Structure 1
């Protein structure tokens, strides 16, 4: 029944999103029309404030124009899911997401409590970034905006140079991970052509019959593109380490699926910062590294708060687009400590993750995976020689036990207690302090 119901609504969203058009005025004053994906690329990467500030209301308006039909889609997709739960005598809509992540509600609550307790550490960072951008307020569209100070301007990094950089730095932590990356580059497992019609972001797919992986993305020469390659290669390495196991032991949950990818991305992000040849470049790359914790502590947090409140209200009946906007705006204000100059009330409409049918609550596993990887990264830096063997053992167990048991066995930590999560937050705080210190000379 779900093919034309549950999955049908999810596919229907893809159809709607593919028709979204956003008017865009380029630097010479010529107005063009962008797809939703093209507009999002500009919003997340354009270095000019005017470009992002002009495009944000147009992007919000374009999704707002479709709010009725998108709202129907979200309501019916969630309604199908809730009715399915009810028919199986399940009245807790978080039960299935937690089962899929093989984690307890206590672990989830502890993680979010630590996130909530530490979110205000981002306020000085947001204020400083706004000042460096020459703005009075940090806006929604500034979350991934690049910073250019001290005469620094982003330079294009060739694909071959990015490949060499990734392999070299992977090798410092795991020769086997470096070897897998080198094989992927040598045998063209990564499709990176910059051409029209491609979706933003990156994606790794397994080829079980060949016991190989393929990565699909667009490479434009930015450090963020190199980080995306590293992220997807982390997924490929995870698969490479479990491909010989029985099928059920390869079926790891989404929260730990982000472990190897985020770990690989952390390696490259730190290496980028440390390889900077000027203060301006170091500030730019450190800010690029900060986009991850901002997303995990604040943006993802807003998605979780919105979705939780939406599902509570959806249990009582249909939720109107106006109410969806209210719920999203409230969630964003709470998660960002009411510190943004501009918000995105129609984020519930523009974000694909809310319309994925096979994994409910496609949000908290990202924050879990990020903080879990921070803990692994800290151990990698401290443990030295025998890290690789123990890291591979952890990856091979990711589909073999609960998340709590995995952490206890391989990291000797209790995920139901705040200590592990707070250690991750402390690492983020160090980066914030370093960012503030380095950028002090460049603010008035």
Structure 2
């Protein structure tokens, strides 16, 4: 059956950026925020807090406000991604950012009040039955709140984030979405968006891949000074906040936001560093098959076989639904609903944002997926990845507002798990050695991305922030740091890497989530561990998986994994289980191509 390649935003708020419905929603949101401010002020004025009921009532209000704010934010994000020059949407973005600032100020004041409750009273208070639902998040707020800053200091920081911080992230998105690339494809000169040009990395013709790679590098070079300014301003603001808050380790906040300990992250990276050779060998073997002594960066995403049929969007949808049905009925029905109800924007045209994403609309219990579908298997996997995020949102549908907020490392687990389902179902149906090699290659690309590319991002960002503490970092130095990180993370097995990875990797510019890199590697290895459990239990595992996702917003990740899988993720033994699967893939690829 034919599926729409354009999403339906009107079913959420009719009329786009001129929507009266959306204007009414923003008015409601303003009322919610006013109520929160008054409630927090009243709460702060109490001489003693020894009753859990009013705290629970306030937390319910905060949760509702968060849901309304998320709904508004997602809508405007979708509007700007489909048309970055929508001036009305830009104005709406400014209003929502202001609302977010007010919300954060109110939350900051509440957290300080909670942090200042004397310990004996707190121990009694937190055990109140009315607060059972919020025990984890309240404890987290209390333990991780900086009480050194005054209310005025908290308010000033929140205000400055509007124009002095988040606006740089929005400027980055607008800038890169407006950039055009002129490339010859299949004998025709084409004007493409950055997203369309990036899609050419999997084009079957090496000449096209190479031209796209070098043309993009030239385009980035032309604007490198502007991108360097944006990145320096984002990092500079973040470092000032850390300094005022007494934070010296730039990883402290990312780790807290991901609800994992440094011991867990170090255990994961330790295993990744230990197993570089199998993936370096895979890259070398693939390069040899393509007639080069080492893997050229522009050939990394190249298909392993010469004749790859184009996949139409309708075919992709049918394939995804069919493969999801092997895992469970819930995931299958969810995917059908997403395709049938216009949740996906997949049209291939040049006036679009460069980057795929999944936006959650918690008020209506929906999601929207944005991507550019160019007809390749890589596009299918991108779509599956975003559907995995959307399924996570679906699993959280019945969870209250504040406990819907799950860490990024678990978000990337859900998306990667969806990819694993597709790979496994496809590998079970292979009918030839050539087809198996194609699928193994696509799977191994993801291992390389998570164990080498993401590692290079982590190394780059860690070193960049250390240098940024001493002053502005030039574009020339950013290029050097990027190249050094890539050479180290890839063990020198990638030739002609993108010097400007720091420009086109959007995660460096996400102001809400610093160090958005290690969550991908975490999610990848964690998803492999979960998938091994799914293979053991069959379709009945879907219920367990949904329960794990549902719990992902109300406990640390260490506790989540122990509760649902009985595993200790601070140990390298846990991470080696997932790594063993990936190493076997690399060894099988070498054997099949010998």
C-alpha distance in structure 1 between counterparts of 2:385 and 2:547, whole Å:
20
Counterpart for residue 163 of structure 2: 4
C-alpha distance in structure 2 between counterparts of 1:50 and 1:352, whole Å:
26
Query: What displacement does 1:32 show?
Result: 4.8
Counterpart for residue 548 of structure 2: 394
Q: 2:593 is paired with a residue of what secondary structure?
A: helix
Is 1:74–2:231 an aligned residue pair? yes
Is 1:362–2:538 an aligned residue pair? no
* Large movers: runs of 4+ above 6 Å: none
Which of 390, 398, 410 is residue 236 of structure 1 equivalent to? 390
TM-score, structure 2 normalization: 0.70
Counterpart for residue 407 of structure 1: 561
Change (3 A) 1:346 1:165: closer
Query: What displacement does 1:90 show?
Result: 1.2
Query: What displacement does 1:260 show?
Result: 1.7
Q: 1:4 is paired with a residue of what secondary structure?
A: helix
Deviations 1:205-238 (A, max 9, x none): 2222321222222333322232223222222221
Query: 1:274–1:282: 8 Å Cα contact kept in structure 2?
Result: no
Counterpart for residue 432 of structure 2: 278
Change (3 A) 1:21 1:211: closer
C-alpha distance in structure 2 between counterparts of 1:246 and 1:427, whole Å:
36
Which of 456, 478, 494 is residue 302 of structure 1 equivalent to? 456
Counterpart for residue 218 of structure 1: 372
Larger Rg: 2
Counterpart for residue 13 of structure 2: none
Query: What displacement does 1:103 show?
Result: 0.4
Query: What displacement does 1:200 show?
Result: 4.4
Stretches of structure 2 lacking an aligned partner (at least 5 in a row): 1-159
Structure-to-structure mapping, 1:408-427, within 5 angstroms: 408-427=562-581
State how many pairs are aligned.
435
Deviates more, 1:374-383 or 1:284-293: 284-293
Change (3 A) 1:357 1:423: same
Which of 8, 25, 38 is residue 184 of structure 2 equivalent to? 25
Query: 2:239–2:469: 8 Å Cα contact kept in structure 1?
Result: yes
Counterpart for residue 296 of structure 2: 139
Deviations 1:370-403 (A, max 9, x none): 1110100011112235412211111111011001
Query: What displacement does 1:285 show?
Result: 2.1
Deviations 1:154-201 (A, max 9, x none): 113343333333223222222211121122223332232333323345
| Aligned-residue CA RMSD (Å) | 1.8
Stretches of structure 1 lacking an aligned partner (at least 5 in a row): none
Query: 1:354–1:362: 8 Å Cα contact kept in structure 2?
Result: yes
Deviations 1:290-349 (A, max 9, x none): 221111000010000000000011111111111111111100000000122212222112
Q: 1:37 is paired with a residue of what secondary structure?
A: helix
Is 1:85–2:242 an aligned residue pair? yes
Is 1:316–2:470 an aligned residue pair? yes
